[in-house]
Amino acid sequence: MLKILKVKSREILDSRGNPTVETEIYTRSGVSRAGVPSGASKGVHEAVELRDGGKRYLGLGVTKAVKNVNTTIAKKIVGKSFDQEKIDRLMIKLDGTYNKEKLGANAILSVSMAFCKAYAREHSIPLYKHVANLFENKKLLLPIPAFNIINGGKHAGNQLDIQEYMLLPTGAKSFKEALQIGSEVYHELKKLLAKDYGRGATNVGDEGGFAPPMSCYEDPFDYIMDAVEELGYYKKIKLGIDAAATSFYRGNKYYLEGQEMQTNDLIETYIETANAYPIVSIEDPFVEDDFDAFAKLNKKIKGVQIVGDDLLCTNQQRIQKAIIMDSCNALLLKVNQIGTITEAMEAAKLAMKQNWNVMVSHRSGETDDSFIADLAVGLGNSQIKSGAPCRGERLAKYNQLLRIEEELGKKAKYGGKIKWQKK
């Protein structure tokens, strides 16, 4: 148990210049701080961020959420002792809504994350080891990074419908080598894009990936593979996408490159693309409530993990439905989708009991908080998605993983050997 001496919350800005919540928890061992991320492509079933509305910050201020931490939550926790589950359950009960709309998931999560850090600090153990203890996991694993190196959809201002094109260095022998591969491919890709499209094509999107003026969904794969082959890394990488298909779904139809498609058409497109390129991961391939379509693709495609993000929203009830319908074989874990560390871990545990893969994820609106790096290692069966090897808020996570790997020394194990389609 850990006694909380003081709580202080404030409004800060995230990587997109929008307000978010940062909270500090004071204990006898010092101060622990956590900043909450925010997404651009949000699932309708996510826990609710509390925003102020009005003119200030164009309605995106979070002073109400900050006040809820400094008053409502603080009154219930300051001067008292907790463990992680106890403090999270208290805040869930205090909010009293199914989606945390009263206090705000951003308010609750800031306290939950800060407390998790404070507990590790108080007991003089690294955060990733504390996470592993909470998760009852004895197998620490450095996650495979999924570098989002070309951006489209809501993450960029180009004509690409697919939101993320990712590079996964599965053949690396360590996280350090994986990061090196990611960085080298990123910079080689930059050269190729600048040569063919001009320097403007190397402008970056929200998550650090390039946003070239492309519209053909296959072109990014070709450029990435050209960069990979130029560097001789073909045997060390795989590819992945986040289709974020809800963004190109209108009137019960999908529109990819302006071409009208039914669900079965899109399924065949994904299968053909996965056969043409070394794709091992497809995230949100269909509109966010179509469990049936996910299940059809999961059944038909081979050697590819089908990742549920907007479909699942790190929500146990939705994960359970996906398990019953065999809609996915991988969970995208976003702590702010559910609002507490306890619930996020419960979601991961439910998925892993079904032999699913778990990909811990950032959001497009990030802070310099590196919490998810420790979370990924502590869960022990993880991949991590934190954008391109570019921009400080993205590299904060990757650099923390370098430190963890160095600290673990000979005990460090990299998760490159993974089954991409688990049944």
The pair of structure tokens assigned to 320 is 């359970």
Q: What is the DSSP string of 353-367?
A: HTT-EEEEE--SB--
DSSP letter assigned to residue 48: P
Residue 126 · residue 118 · CB < 8 Å: no
How are beta strands 81-82 and 30-35 bridged, if at all?
unpaired
Q: Which residue has the tokens 């990299």?
A: 414
Distance CA 414, CA 423 (A): 23
Distance CA 318, CA 75 (A): 33
Kindly name the residue from 238, 334, 385, 397 that is annotated as catalytic.
Answer: 334
Total Cβ atoms within 10 A of residue 174: 16
Residue 315 · residue 337 · CB < 8 Å: yes
List CB contacts of 93: < 8 A, sequence separation 6 or more: none
Query: 201 φ, ψ to 5°?
Result: -75, -10
Amino acid occupying residue 409: G
Closest to 87 measured CA to CA, from 20, 191, 4:
4
Kindly name the residue from 207, 283, 366, 393 that is annotated as catalytic.
Answer: 207
Residue 298 · residue 54 · CB < 8 Å: no
Q: Which residue has the tokens 């939950």?
A: 112
The pair of structure tokens assigned to 29 is 């061992």
Q: What's the length of the chain? A: 423
207 flagged as catalytic: yes
DSSP letter assigned to residue 98: T
C-alpha 31: how far from chain center? 26
Active site residues: 207, 334
